Each structure stands twice: as structure tokens, then as C-alpha cells.
């Protein structure tokens, strides 16, 4: 007989526990929840960018047979918003509309055709106000304030200076400044926004199914908007078709659908289309960056000055946090000491921005890694060498802005991509021919594994998981953590199974139903694996203690003598022992069904400091690190840039599921590629022109390169099994690695994104004209 | 105007009264209740609604239901046989060709269509066949691996 051994899956390639549902069409997303008699919801949106509402007439719409409810701003005077300090947005505009597409009214009707017809009968009379579609215009001295409580349209001014920046620049051997523009980009997740709200008139209870990353926030905001006690609300998260940050915040769609359901006294399904999903937005703001670096001859960075202006859109949303991340995350990747940061988050008459994958860090990283590359080139230093010169000392350490770093795999990431890409053999020997130039570029990036402080500070543990074990010997894992495709359910099941030494199939996971699962702070800031993973391990250890005690009692041994082999518990190697089911039967004798709780709280040292206002933003239990090499071909006759291959190494602490880590890293890199090469929104007088996937150009399978992933395991001392995040940190490095590669191939540097064929072609032409006028080749 | 639509849907003959202007997508999802086929855009941008009509991939959001009269329509729900995943489904599951899963039915149907007409596609042929499907999660790397794995499973006898 083979020796019984506990089952282990941590570190293996594990397909998703909910994969069979997704590949068979059985997975139900919000829009798939079709019920008999449910009403169709539709939203009437402002055609104006900025206007005072004079009259909203819904009387003709209300007369249409089949219309069951109409809601307007008059139905709700409460504000909502993700940050407790900025809950000033209304689900339906009141008094003023502030962006083209802002919801003004909504209709619930017996079918979609009737609801659509009703929208046509709604009349909106306004007095138009000056509209500002750029940050610069909104900041003009004579600009009208979008919100009374935000003078000069500044959502937040951030300023900090740590060290002596002026003196450090004066002492530097090389000082350079660059100006960078990163346009607004959207998550454009595949599932369009949808909500199903069911109001029980008899019991005064509301059930909402929503495509959200944070059911808990939806719960809070429904209570606030509806004026209903939280105990009367149930929020369910079905399968969610991606989020990438736009579903962290509660969206107007969910709130409007609930308002409609209550007014209609029934069940309403609202499915907004792709155009409306783009307008609902919450993407990465357009960011203008002025960056100045001071460097010693040996490549050491001695001074940093960064100014960052973000066009935030018409409402506060996540704005304050985004502009703070852009400054605080200058730190914790390189050893920096004299840093000045000036950030401005501006309110404009465009749809509100939010938290897009790599929240606040991506555009600044693009600027930083671009300028670093340019300066290294000027000093004749290899791009890898300049980064190695500026590495952090060995952890543990605390940065100048009080960020705690306990593990740091960036050196190994650099080694891996340098070796695997053949950098040393190939760099500086670009192949040319037929007007195509090849080049190699590299860059680094990092990200947090969960914000250490939750948005809503309640004093509760940061994460809670429950396990239920019953007579059948199955374990049910209950969590509010929202799997949105990133594989969080799989990693939580793996974590519990690992501690107990059981097959994954013994464990079932239930997520996202507020009636059943413990509250969770949600799927944002790459927090789930680290924070909820640790809570799952804690819960599994607590369950194991109960089982070991039961086994000891039955075997007449001491708990310390019990060996847990997953399916077998025994007192020493000679003992026949008890099967898992026998242990469960014994354990249930005391209490019946067993439920255990696992908790996790971040430590105060991870909460960031108080050196400047907002210094807590950027604090985390563990930073992930990434290095990338990108190989490009640039066709100078057409301006087309082709990414031939990407090598990316990601320090995720420990790969709990190698398949998921690879998938997350590849997805991040690729999303960075979209932003770098083709994605950007465009407006005409505030009207979103790119509200479809043809004009908002997402890379297709034919545009997309092979992406080779190296996993670096720095074993974070606090991480679950040593793990850190894997789903965001590799996005940012792609952007500068691409432009650095283009510079390597052509000598042309692109500081404005995206690098489209038009821009490349124009730059090649300009260079050719310059050569002619200079009499050069 | 209403009309009677007769077709073979997932191997079963059906006869339904439909309005002439209903899209095949809405007929499948809202009328029949086959919600495996997804809506991802406002028409022809993303490929999430791909189904097979007489074994050929078709965007159901750009197809009037009335135009598939007398034809065979296969959706994602038809691929599981005897409770087992098909080769393409297994590939997408085991190789992580599917993360959030929303584009997955479209990718799987386009891939199944490819394997039905070309059981041994090259990587370029795979890219060509999936060129009008958008995925926002995977960067497509593991989708290509999934289809290649499915090709091998299919060669070993599994249905596509």
C-alpha cells in the first residue's frame, strides 16, 4: 500500500475551479438572469456636456402603455461615491448635468421596445453652461466651477517634498526633463454593465444582482441611495465578465435599477449597451506629466521632481486616491531620496474616471522609465545597469515616504529577462532591411498587494473567511471576495485545501451573496490573494485544530501527537488512524455542524506614514515587482510597429497557482500594450467618439505577441505561503519598454501615447526633413 | 410581422413563432433561454455572440433569426456530450484560455468551427479564425495554447 500523503496543489498549474461552467455556457452573468415578468430598464442620458436643468418633462413617457415606472433626480437627493469623503454624485442628475451621457431619467417598461420608445418622449430643457473637456480649460481663471464645494475645479492638490531636492539637483552630473501625455483609456471589460433589482413590496426588501467587483460597496450605496436599512438589502454577485477596476465603485446602473424596481414594485433588468458602458467609464484619466531627474555620472538617481495633472471627469469618484498613488508610488521600486511631487486632480465635463488596473501608477511609471532610459543612453550606461545601480537595499526596509518593503525580487526579475531575451548578445546589433528596423527595450514596474487601509475604516479585520463542515464531510468556503475572472475563488480553495491536505474537490466555494457570505472589502488593489488568502489559511488552521482535537479524543492521544495526512488522521506512523469522515463524525458530536472563522488584518507598519497629507495611499503588506524586455519591428515606410515578443519576469512572492499567475501577467502586459499602441478615448465637444470596439482599438489576436513569463519567488514573510500580487504589477512596464525599444530601433522617442502608425510615420518624416535641411544623410 | 421559424437547434428540431425582425442572438437568449451565447457589443465588434450555422461561425448579433430557416444552429450549450467537455472546451478550461469567461463561448464556437473544417490548423490559421473575437483578459497567449491542445485532443478522437 502506498503511504498516504496530504494533497498539495500550491505551486502547481491548477485550472480554475469555476472553469467548467465558463466553457460550457452554464455560467450565469447578470444579463443572463431572465425571469418571467421582469421589466426592462432603460436610461435617458444628457446630450449636453454642462447645463443647468430647467425642466424635465416625463409626462408623455408616463402615458405610454406598458411603462411601469419612471425615475428622475427628483426621486433621490442622496449622493454616492466610493470614498466616504466624496459622496457627491447622484445616480440621476439633479439641477445640473456635468457630462454628455450623464443619466437624467430612467424607465422601466414591460419590454425593451416600450422602454426605448418611452425615452424618446422625455423632454429635457436646459440652460447650457461653459463646458471644459480638458484639464487646462477647467483650470482657467474664469472657469465656472463644476461643483460648488470644489473651487477652481481642483478635486485635490497634492504636494510633498522629501529630502533636499534643490540641493540634490544642483549636485547632479546630468539633469533632464521630459514632458509626457497619456490619454484616457477604458477598461472595456467584455461584459457590459447590467443589474437586476427585485423589490419585495410586502416585506420592503431589495435584492440586487450586479456585475460588481465589490458587492459590499454596492450594499452600502444602495442603502444610502434608497434610504433603506442595510438589513433589508441583499446583494448578489453572479459571474462577472471582467472589471479591471471599473466595477470597484458602485455604478449608477445598479442604483438606478434599484430605484426603478422600488417605484415599479417589481423586478427590473437593466442592460446598458457597449456605448453606455464606455460612457459609464471609470477608466484611467488623461495624465500630463512633467518629470525631471537628476543623475550622477554612474547612473545613480539623486533627485526627482514630478508634476502630474489628471483630467478626472465630472465627479470625484476615486480621484483623490488616484492622484495620491501617482506620487507615493514613485517610491518602493528604486532607492530614491530627494523627491518632490506636485499633483493636481481636475474636474472636467467628461465621464468620471476611476481605478483602472495599475491604479495611478502606470502613466508616471511610463514617464519615469522613459526618462531613465534616455539619461542612461546619454551617459553611455546600459539600461539594465542603470536600474541595478538604483536598486533598493536588501529588505526589510522603509522608504522615505514610510512604505514598508519586506521582499524585493526585482534584481532576479532583471536577471531573468536579461538572460532569456538574449539582451547582452543582441542589444545594439539591430537587424535592418526593407525599411524595417528592429529594437529591444526594457523597463520595470511594481504594484501593491492590497491597500493596507480599507476605504471604509470600521475597525473590523481586513478580511474574513468562513468554513462550514457538516455530516457529509464536505467543506464549504464562504467568502465575499468577488471572483471577476482573476481566479480568486480557485486560489482560496487551494489555500484551504493545502492547509488541510485535502483534494480540491472536497471544498466548495460560495461567493458573493450577502445573505450567506461574510462581508469582504472586495476585489480591488490586488488585495484578494494576499489579504483574503491569509484569512482562508487562518480559517483552515482553525478547522484543522478542531479536527485534530476530535481525532485525539477518539484515538486517546494528545492533540500534539496527531498527524494530519489529509484523508487520514493518526497518532504515530504505526497507528491505523481514522479516515477524514470518521474524524468529522467525532468532531460533530460536540457542536453539530462546524463553522469556523478566519481573519486577517494588516499590520500598522504597513499603513504608510503621516509625512504629507494622504501619505497612507500606497501602503501595503507587500509590493510585487516586474521587469520586461520588448522586441519590436518598426516599418519606417508605413509607421507600423509590431511587437515581436515580450519577456516578462514578475515577482509574485510565491506562485500559488502557476497557471493563473502566467495568465494574469500575460493579460497585464497585453493590456499595457493596448494603452501603449492603440487605445485612447476621443471626444467632440464632450461627445464620446470612441464608444465602440472599432474606434476604441483593442489589440486583436493577430496584433498580439508571444509573452514569455518568468516567475520570481521572493517569499514575502507576510504573504499567504509567501505570495504577493500577480494581476496588475506587470502592466506599467510594458509602455516604457515599448517606447524604449522603438528608440533603440529608430532613435525616435515617443513621449505621447499611444504610439500609433500615424505618429511614427510623422516622426520618421520629420527626421528625414531635418536631415535634409542639415545636409545630413 | 410574426412568422414560424423552423430550424435544428443544438441537434433538436424546433418550430417557433417569432417576429421577423428579431435577431438570432435575442431569439437564442431571450426567447429560447440559451444564455450561453453572449452579447458583448452593439453589433459586430467583439465576436462574443458567435454560433455555428451549418458548421460555419456566424455573429448571431448581425443575423436575423428568420434567415436561418431550415438550417442547423449550434450554440455553446451543444458541445458537451454525455456530460463531457468537448476538445475545445477542455482546452480552454485546462490551459486557462478562459479567465472571466464572457468572451469564451464565442471563442470556443469559432474554434469549434475551425476544427470542423480544418482539423489540423497551423498557428497562423488559428489566429486568422479567431481574428474577429476580442478577449480582454488573456492577451490571447493561452487561447492559442488552448486551441492547439484541443487540436491534439481532437486528433486523439475527442469531438471538437
Contacts of A22 in chain B (CB under 8 A): 92-93, 98, 100-101, 104
State phi, psi for A432 to the nearest 5 degrees.
-135, 170
CA distance A9 to chain B (A): 15
In a domain, A696, yes or no: yes
Given a cut of 90, whether residue A502 has pLDDT beyond it is yes
Spatial distance between the Cα atoms of A186 and A204, rounded to a whole number of angstroms:
37
Q: Is B31 exposed, middle or buried (0-12, 13-18, 19+ CB in 10 A)?
A: middle
- A426 shares a domain with A327: yes
In a domain, A10, yes or no: no
Put simply, the answer to whether A27 touches B101 (Cβ < 8 Å) is yes
- Residue A525's nearest CA partner among A399, A660, A366, A355 is A355
CA distance B102 to chain A (A): 5
- A706 shares a domain with A613: yes
Domain locations in chain B?
2-78, 87-155
Once rounded to an integer, what is the mean pLDDT over residues A278-286? Answer: 97
pLDDT at A508: 97
**Which residue is listed with cell 471627469?**
A313
Mutate one of A16, A24, A37, A655 to test the B interface: name it (highest B CB count within 10 A). A24
pLDDT at A224: 97
In a domain, A1, yes or no: no
HSE-CB of A315 using CA atoms within 13 angstroms: 33
pLDDT category, B69, cuts 50, 70, 90? Answer: very high
In a domain, A221, yes or no: yes
- A626 shares a domain with A590: no
- A530 shares a domain with A492: yes
pLDDT category, A432, cuts 50, 70, 90? Answer: low
Q: Which of residues 650-669 of A touch B (CB under 8 A)?
A: 659-660, 662-663, 666-667, 669
Residue A424 CB partners (closer than 8 Å, separation 6+):
A418
Q: What is the DSSP string of A523-570?
A: S-TT-IIIIIHHHHHHHHHHHHHHHHHHHHHHHTS-GGGEEE-SSEEE
Number of domains within chain A: 3
Is the Cβ of A777 closer than 8 Å to some Cβ of chain B?
A: no
- A627 shares a domain with A659: yes
DSSP at A75: G
Mean pLDDT, chain A, whole residue set:
96
Q: Is A268 exposed, middle or buried (0-12, 13-18, 19+ CB in 10 A)?
A: buried
- ipTM exceeds 0.95, yes or no: yes
Contacts of A661 in chain B (CB under 8 A): none
3-class SS of residue A20: helix
Cα A14–Cα A19–Cα A23 angle in degrees, nearest 5 = 135
Prediction pTM value: 0.98
Q: For residues A525 and A481, is the Cβ–Cβ distance under 8 A?
A: no
Q: Which of A256, A280, A304 is the last residue of a domain?
A: A280
Q: For residues A679 and A774, is the Cβ–Cβ distance under 8 A?
A: no
pLDDT at A430: 64
- A387 shares a domain with A324: yes
Contacts of B102 in chain A (CB under 8 A): 29, 189-191, 239, 241-242, 485
Given a cut of 70, whether residue A217 has pLDDT beyond it is yes
- Helix intervals (H) in A379-409: 383-389
Residue A536 CB partners (closer than 8 Å, separation 6+):
A465, A477, A479, A492, A495, A496, A598, A720
Given a cut of 60, whether residue A292 has pLDDT beyond it is yes
Q: How many CB atoms lie within 10 A of CB A424?
A: 11
What does the pLDDT look like over A235-271, one tens digit per residue? 999 999 999 999 999 999 999 999 999 999 999 999 9
Q: Which of A551, A582, A601 is the last residue of a domain?
A: A601
Q: What is the dihedral of CA B94, A450, A282, A459, to 10 degrees?
A: 130
Spatial distance between the Cα atoms of A657 and B149, rounded to a whole number of angstroms:
20
What residue numbers bound the domain in which A234 lies?
Answer: 33-129+190-242+247-280
In a domain, A407, yes or no: yes
Given a cut of 90, whether residue A569 has pLDDT beyond it is yes
pLDDT at A774: 60
In a domain, A161, yes or no: no
- A701 shares a domain with A577: no
In a domain, A335, yes or no: yes
What does the pLDDT look like over A672-687, one tens digit per residue? 999 999 999 999 999 9
- A78 shares a domain with A51: yes
What does the pLDDT look like over A595-647, one tens digit per residue? 999 999 999 999 988 899 999 999 999 999 999 999 999 999 999 999 999 99
Put simply, the answer to whether A704 touches B30 (Cβ < 8 Å) is no
CA distance B146 to chain A (A): 12
- A224 shares a domain with A80: yes
Q: Which of residues 36-55 of B touch A (CB under 8 A)?
A: 36-42, 45-46, 48
Given a cut of 90, whether residue A657 has pLDDT beyond it is yes
- Is B2-78 CATH 3.10.20.30? yes
In a domain, A428, yes or no: yes
HSE-CB of A721 using CA atoms within 13 angstroms: 24
What does the pLDDT look like over A178-192, one tens digit per residue? 999 999 999 999 999
Q: How far is CA A484 from the centre of its chain?
A: 11
Q: What is the CATH number of the domain that holds A223?
A: 3.30.365.10
Q: How many CB atoms lie within 10 A of CB A474?
A: 13
- Residue A185's nearest CA partner among A366, A365, A364, A355 is A355
What does the pLDDT look like over A127-180, one tens digit per residue? 999 999 999 999 999 999 999 999 999 999 999 999 999 999 999 999 999 999
- A435 shares a domain with A474: no
pLDDT at A607: 93
Question: Per CATH, the architecture of B87-155 is what?
Answer: Orthogonal Bundle (1.10)
**Which residue among B41, B93, B140 places its CB closest to the CB of A701?**
B140
Spatial distance between the Cα atoms of A358 and A361, rounded to a whole number of angstroms:
6
- A594 shares a domain with A550: yes
Amino acid at each position: 500500500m502506498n503511504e498516504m500523503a496530504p494533497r498539495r496543489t500550491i505551486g502547481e498549474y491548477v485550472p480554475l475551479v469555476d472553469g467548467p461552467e465558463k466553457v460550457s455556457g452554464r455560467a450565469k452573468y447578470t444579463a443572463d438572469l431572465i425571469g418571467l415578468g421582469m421589466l426592462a430598464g432603460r436610461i435617458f442620458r444628457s446630450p449636453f456636456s454642462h447645463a443647468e436643468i430647467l425642466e424635465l418633462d416625463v409626462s408623455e413617457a408616463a402615458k405610454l402603455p406598458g411603462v411601469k415606472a419612471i425615475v428622475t433626480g427628483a426621486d433621490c437627493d442622496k449622493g454616492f461615491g466610493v470614498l466616504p469623503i466624496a459622496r457627491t454624485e447622484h445616480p440621476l442628475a439633479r439641477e445640473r448635468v456635468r457630462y454628455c451621457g450623464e443619466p437624467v431619467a430612467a424607465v422601466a417598461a414591460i419590454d425593451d421596445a416600450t422602454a426605448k420608445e418611452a425615452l424618446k418622449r422625455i423632454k429635457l430643457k436646459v440652460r447650457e453652461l461653459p463646458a471644459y473637456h480638458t484639464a487646462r480649460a477647467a483650470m482657467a481663471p474664469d472657469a465656472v466651477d463644476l461643483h460648488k464645494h470644489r473651487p477652481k475645479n481642483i478635486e485635490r492638490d497634492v504636494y510633498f517634498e522629501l529630502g533636499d531636492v534643490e540641493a540634490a539637483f544642483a549636485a547632479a552630473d546630468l539633469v533632464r526633463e521630459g514632458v509626457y501625455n497619456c490619454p484616457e483609456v477604458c477598461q472595456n471589460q467584455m461584459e457590459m454593465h447590467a443589474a437586476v433589482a427585485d423589490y419585495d413590496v410586502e416585506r420592503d426588501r431589495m435584492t440586487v444582482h450586479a456585475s460588481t467587483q465589490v458587492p459590499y460597496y454596492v450594499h452600502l450605496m444602495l442603502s444610502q441611495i434608497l434610504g433603506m436599512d442595510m438589513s433589508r438589502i441583499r446583494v448578489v454577485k453572479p459571474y462577472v465578465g471582467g472589471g479591471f477596476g471599473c466595477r470597484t465603485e458602485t455604478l449608477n446602473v445598479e442604483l438606478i435599477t434599484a430605484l426603478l424596481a422600488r417605484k415599479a414594485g417589481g423586478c427590473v433588468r437593466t442592460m446598458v449597451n457597449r456605448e453606455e458602458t464606455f460612457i459609464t467609464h471609470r477608466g484611467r484619466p488623461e495624465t500630463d506629466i512633467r518629470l525631471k531627474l537628476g543623475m550622477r555620472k554612474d547612473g545613480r538617481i539623486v533627485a526627482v521632481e514630478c508634476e502630474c495633472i489628471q483630467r478626472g471627469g465630472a465627479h470625484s469618484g476615486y480621484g483623490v486616491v488616484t492622484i495620491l498613488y501617482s506620487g507615493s508610488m514613485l517610491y518602493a521600486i528604486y532607492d530614491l531620496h530627494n523627491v518632490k511631487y506636485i499633483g493636481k486632480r481636475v474636474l472636467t465635463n467628461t465621464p468620471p474616471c476611476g481605478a483602472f488596473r495599475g491604479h495611478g501608477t502606470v502613466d508616471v511609471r511610463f514617464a519615469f522609465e522613459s526618462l531613465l532610459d534616455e539619461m542612461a543612453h546619454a551617459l553611455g550606461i546600459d539600461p539594465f545597469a542603470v536600474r541595478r545601480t538604483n536598486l533598493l537595499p536588501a529588505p526589510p526596509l522603509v522608504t522615505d515616504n514610510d512604505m514598508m518593503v519586506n521582499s524585493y525580487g526585482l534584481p532576479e526579475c532583471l536577471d531573468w529577462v536579461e538572460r532569456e531575451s538574449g539582451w547582452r548578445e543582441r542589444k545594439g546589433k539591430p537587424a535592418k532591411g526593407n525599411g524595417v528596423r528592429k529594437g529591444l527595450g526594457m523597463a520595470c514596474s511594481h504594484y501593491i498587494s492590497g491597500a493596507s487601509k480599507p476605504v471604509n475604516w470600521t475597525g473590523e479585520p481586513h478580511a474574513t473567511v468562513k468554513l462550514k463542515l457538516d455530516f457529509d464531510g464536505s467543506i464549504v468556503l464562504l467568502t465575499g471576495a468577488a471572483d471577476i475572472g482573476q481566479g480568486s475563488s480557485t486560489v482560496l480553495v487551494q489555500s484551504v485545501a493545502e492547509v488541510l491536505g485535502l483534494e480540491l474537490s472536497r471544498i466548495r466555494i460560495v461567493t458573493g451573496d450577502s445573505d450567506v457570505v461574510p462581508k469582504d472589502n472586495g476585489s480591488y488593489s490586488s488585495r484578494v490573494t494576499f489579504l483574503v488568502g491569509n484569512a482562508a489559511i487562518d480559517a483552515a488552521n482553525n478547522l484543522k485544530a478542531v479536527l485534530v482535537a476530535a481525532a485525539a479524543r477518539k484515538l486517546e492521544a494528545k492533540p500534539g501527537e496527531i498527524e494530519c495526512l489529509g484523508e487520514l488522521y493518526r497518532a504515530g506512523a504505526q497507528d491505523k488512524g481514522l479516515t477524514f469522515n470518521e474524524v468529522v463524525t467525532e468532531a460533530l458530536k460536540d457542536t453539530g455542524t462546524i463553522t469556523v472563522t478566519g481573519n486577517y488584518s494588516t499590520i500598522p507598519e504597513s499603513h504608510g506614514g503621516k509625512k504629507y497629507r494622504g501619505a497612507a495611499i500606497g501602503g501595503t503588506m507587500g509590493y510585487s515587482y516586474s521587469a520586461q524586455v520588448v522586441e519590436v519591428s518598426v516599418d519606417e515606410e508605413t509607421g507600423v510597429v509590431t511587437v515581436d515578443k515580450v519577456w516578462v519576469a514578475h515577482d509574485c512572492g510565491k506562485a500559488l497557482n502557476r497557471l493563473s499567475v502566467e495568465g494574469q501577467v500575460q493579460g497585464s502586459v497585453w493590456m499595457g500594450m493596448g494603452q501603449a499602441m492603440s487605445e485612447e478615448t476621443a471626444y467632440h465637444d464632450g461627445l464620446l467618439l470612441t464608444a465602440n470596439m472599432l474606434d476604441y482599438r483593442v489589440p486583436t489576436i493577430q496584433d498580439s505577441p508571444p509573452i514569455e513569463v518568468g516567475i520570481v519567488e521572493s517569499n514575502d514573510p507576510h504573504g499567504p505561503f509567501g505570495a504577493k500580487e500577480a494581476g496588475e504589477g506587470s502592466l506599467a512596464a510594458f509602455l516604457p519598454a515599448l517606447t524604449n525599444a522603438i528608440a533603440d530601433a529608430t532613435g525616435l522617442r515617443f513621449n505621447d501615447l499611444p504610439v500609433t502608425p500615424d505618429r511614427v510615420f510623422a516622426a520618421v518624416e520629420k527626421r528625414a526633413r531635418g536631415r535634409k535641411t542639415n545636409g545630413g544623410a | 410581422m410574426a412568422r414560424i421559424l423552423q430550424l435544428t437547434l443544438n441537434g433538436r428540431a424546433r418550430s417557433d413563432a417569432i417576429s421577423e425582425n428579431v435577431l438570432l442572438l435575442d431569439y437564442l437568449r431571450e426567447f429560447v433561454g440559451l444564455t450561453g451565447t453572449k452579447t458583448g457589443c452593439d453589433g459586430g465588434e467583439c465576436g462574443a455572440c458567435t454560433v455555428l450555422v451549418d458548421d460555419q461561425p456566424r455573429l448571431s448579433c448581425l443575423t436575423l433569426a428568420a434567415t436561418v430557416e431550415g438550417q442547423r444552429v449550434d450554440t455553446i450549450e451543444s458541445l458537451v456530450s454525455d456530460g463531457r467537455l468537448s476538445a475545445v472546451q477542455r482546452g480552454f478550461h485546462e490551459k486557462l484560455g478562459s479567465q472571466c469567461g464572457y468572451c469564451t463561448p464565442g471563442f470556443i464556437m469559432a474554434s469549434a468551427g475551425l476544427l470542423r473544417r480544418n482539423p489540423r490548423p497551423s498557428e497562423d490559421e488559428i489566429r486568422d479564425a479567431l481574428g474577429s473575437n476580442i478577449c480582454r483578459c488573456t492577451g490571447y497567449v493561452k487561447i492559442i495554447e488552448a486551441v492547439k491542445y484541443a487540436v491534439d485532443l481532437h486528433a486523439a478522437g475527442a469531438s471538437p
